[in-house]
Amino acid sequence: MSTTTTKAPVRWTALVGAGLHAKVASRARKLADRKRWARDSARIQIEQMTGLLREASGTRFGREHDFARLAQIADPRDRVTAYRSAVPIADWYAFKHHIADMREGGEPDVLWPGLVKHFAQTSGTTAGDKFIPVSQAMFKSNYRASLDIFAYLINRGVSLTRIMSGRCLFLGGSSELEYNEHGVATGDLSGLVTPLIKWPLSAIYSPGPKIALMSDWPAKLEAMAELAVHQDIRFISGMPSWGLVLMQRVAELAGASCVREVWPNLEVFVHGGVRYDPFAPRFARAYSGDPSIDIPQRLELYPASEAFVAMQDDPTDANMRLIVDNGVFFEFVPREQIDDDAPEAFGCWEVEKGQQYVVVLTTCAGLWRYVLGDVVEFDEVPAVDGSGGPARFRIVGRHRHFINAFGENLIAEHIEEGVTAACAATGLVVGEFTAAPVYPDPDTGRRAGLELAIEFERPPSGPELANFAEAFDDGVKAVNVDYTTKRTDGVGMGPPTLSPLTPGTFHRWLDAKGKLGGQHKCPRCANHREIIEDVVATAAGAS
């Protein structure tokens, strides 16, 4: 039974008349030319860097670092080398005072030309708020990247006429904008973008600006569900965890067994932020009632408040393609060097496959050699002779989020692989999770080990939990030789400890931290016990 009552808000022919379809189709053809990206990615990236140097040469930062001279260097490779010598790799705190002058003081021409009037407010689970400049050039960059989503869908055989004849639902953040005396706006990135959505996209956009800008996240989700249950939703974009909550609530409101009964034309789920695999069985069940039947098309994105980085170009491969021609210059620092005084950095054409790198970017909003923090591993590398392919990688973790208390060298990807393997082996359905080291205690005989705090859809029995722990242990061993060594014969680390949690625990924890919303997530692992103990305490407080 379907409760969809509204007709298509706009015919795709109107969008064609606006020229959008032709633009996206042209981009799809260009993206499909793999040889072009293999051959030209290095040249394109150096051109992006050069253009940014020229554009910002008159800013305070540009004058301090002699951008005008750097942009004039004739040999492209020498130009890159000179830029790396002139500007050190830095994190947000190196730009903190510049950003304060721009945002709080209303000062123009600091990091980027003119007055930057928009700042995205971001926060991690352990750090304070940060303010990321979003220039008009960055808004345009993000818009072009959003069109790439539809271009890649075209290349998969998805009909945009069919998708755009219904509604596209976006699960963004939850922050209204705050304006200061200089007219500078601060808020969640989705809050900055929402007012910019114009016709014809506004005609198919859901939930609309009124609901999208609500600050109370639970109330916003409820309002979104109450609206969307009566709409012909054909495309959803958001984090898997929140997409799951929304779909379950929509089915509940409709009295349906699954959301496919409510949205029979739902075809695409675009997601990012966390790995999808652990959510797959629950998501498929919410969609179809069958854990083996998922939404027909899924496309993973790598967005950040600082810039749009990459997106999945092959539905059969989890690797994502770097967006090399969109006003951002990317560098990659070997993970083991990121805290060095002068780490090496490589362009996407200089990296090695199978090595782990921290993402560093230079943006059209004035962040120069900025450490984004994600760790990636390349699967494909472009070459000037046209060999290889487009620059493609997968995210394996964050350079500050790892576990190495006993030489086990675990990253987020290893924890996710272990959970995915355990779900497949046991049939248990899980939600959010995080891992941390267990420190030995000679007084109690507790051995060194690994603890996994994880939500289960239903409370597992003792044997089920033991089987899950064993399969998780085997799954981590399969992808990490150091962990395997430490676990061999029980000489180093003991078997992992599981702390089962009820569904919603992590969302309650985020809410208690003031971080509940569309873009916030819990680290999959940490080299300390603060997060896991806080989460477990949240569960105990709710019981």
Q: What is the pLDDT of residues 330-365, one digit of tens each?
A: 999 998 899 898 999 999 999 999 899 999 999 999
Does one domain contain both 410 and 361? no
What average pLDDT does this structure show over 230-258?
92
Beta strands 356-363 and 449-456 are: unpaired
Q: Give the DSSP H/E element, type plus range, for residue 397.
A: strand 388-398
Could you report the per-residue pLDDT of 289-321, keeping only the tens digit for each? 998 899 999 999 999 889 999 999 999 998 999
Distance CA 330, CA 363 (A): 9
Tell whether 78 is covered by a domain. Answer: yes
308 closest CA partner among 89, 431, 416, 152: 152
Q: How many residues does the chain have?
A: 543
Strand order in the sheet with 328-334: 205-206, 167-170, 233-237, 268-272, 297-303, 308-312, 320-322, 388-398, 370-382, 356-363, 328-334
> Is 525 among the domain residues?
yes
Domain boundary among 377, 398, 419: 398
- 258 falls within a domain: yes
In a domain, 504, yes or no: yes
From its phi and psi, is residue 217 left (phi > 0), alpha (psi between -120 and 50) or beta?
alpha
**Which pLDDT band holds residue 8 (cuts at 50, 70, 90)?**
very low
Instruction: Report yes or no: 359 and 381 within 8 Å, Cβ to Cβ.
Output: no
Domain limit, last residue, from 367, 398, 429: 398
| Alpha-carbon separation of residue 527 from 258, 391, 404, 450, 530 (angstroms) | 39, 31, 6, 10, 9
Q: What percent of the chain has pLDDT over 70?
A: 92
How do 205-206 and 233-237 pair as beta strands?
Answer: unpaired
> Do both 340 and 390 map to the same domain?
yes
Burial of 26 (0-12, 13-18, 19+ CB in 10 A): exposed
- Residue predicted with more confidence, 199 or 324: 324
Looking at residue 197, its pLDDT comes to 73
What does the buried/exposed string (b/e) look like for 238-267 if buried means 16 or more CB atoms within 10 Å of the residue's CB? bbbbbbbbbbbbbbebbebebbbbbbebbb
Are 416 and 447 in the same domain? yes
Q: What is the mean pLDDT of residues 389-406?
A: 84
In the predicted structure, residue 466 carries a pLDDT above the cut 90? yes
State residue 216's pLDDT score. Answer: 77
Is there a domain that residue 7 lies in?
no
In which band, very low, low, confident or very high, does the pLDDT at 543 lie, cut at 50, 70 and 90?
A: low
Strand bridging mode 167-170 / 205-206? parallel
Are residue 117 and residue 191 in the same domain, yes or no? Answer: no
3-state helix, strand, coil in the chain (%, to 5): 40, 20, 35
In a shared domain, residues 503 and 449: yes
CB within 8 Å of 69: residues ≥ 6 apart: none
Q: Are residues 380 and 240 in the same domain?
A: no
pLDDT bucket at 517, cuts 50 / 70 / 90? low
The predicted model gives 21-45 an average pLDDT of 93
- Mean pLDDT to the nearest integer, 322-331: 98
Cis peptide before 334 (omega within 30 of 0): no
Q: Is 394 helix (H, G, I), strand (E, B) or coil?
A: strand
Please state whether the peptide bond connecting residue 207 to the residue before it is cis, i.e. omega within 30 degrees of 0. yes
Check pLDDT > 80 for residue 78.
yes
Quick check: is 413 in a domain? yes
**Of the candidates 139, 122, 211, 199, the residue with the CA atom closest to the CA atom of residue 169:** 211
Band of pLDDT at residue 119, cut at 50, 70 and 90: very high
- In a shared domain, residues 160 and 203: yes
Token pair recorded at residue 534: 């806080």
Q: What are the tens digits of pLDDT across the range 271-287?
A: 987 778 877 888 899 99
Taking 80 as the threshold, does the pLDDT of residue 516 lie above it? no
Does a structural domain hold residue 73? yes
455 burial type by CB count under 10 A (0-12 exposed, 13-18 middle, 19+ buried): buried
Same domain assignment for residues 286 and 145:
yes
Q: Same domain, yes or no, for 87 and 218?
A: no
- On average, the pLDDT of the chain sits at 88
Q: Residue 313 falls within a domain, yes or no?
A: no
Regarding whether 23 and 148 lie in a shared domain, the answer is yes
Would you state the pLDDT for residue 126?
A: 41
What is the rounded CA–CA span in Å between residue 418 and residue 272? Answer: 20
Q: What is the pLDDT of residues 125-177, one digit of tens each?
A: 444 578 999 999 999 999 999 999 999 999 999 998 899 889 999 987 656 78
pLDDT at 442 over 80: no
CATH number at residue 472: 3.30.300.30
**Residues spanned by the domain of 420:** 402-542
Residue 247 pLDDT class (50, 70, 90 cuts): very high
Q: Which of 398, 417, 432 is the last residue of a domain?
A: 398
Whether 538 and 506 share a structural domain: yes
Contact 140, 299 (CB under 8 A): no
Residue 9 has pLDDT above 60, yes or no: no
In a shared domain, residues 431 and 531: yes
pTM: 0.81
What's the Cα-to-Cα distance from 31 to each of 167, 278, 284, 325, 390, rounded to whole Å? 25, 30, 29, 11, 9
**68-95: average pLDDT:** 96
Q: What is the mean pLDDT of residues 225-238?
A: 95
185-202 burial code (b ≥16 CB/10 A, e <16): bbbbbbbbbbeebeebbe
Half-sphere exposure of residue 251, counting CA atoms within 13 Å on the CB side? Answer: 19
pLDDT of residue 112: 98
Q: Which of 400, 237, 399, 375 is nearest to 309 (CA)?
A: 375
The count of structural domains within the chain is 3
More confident residue, 200 or 430: 430
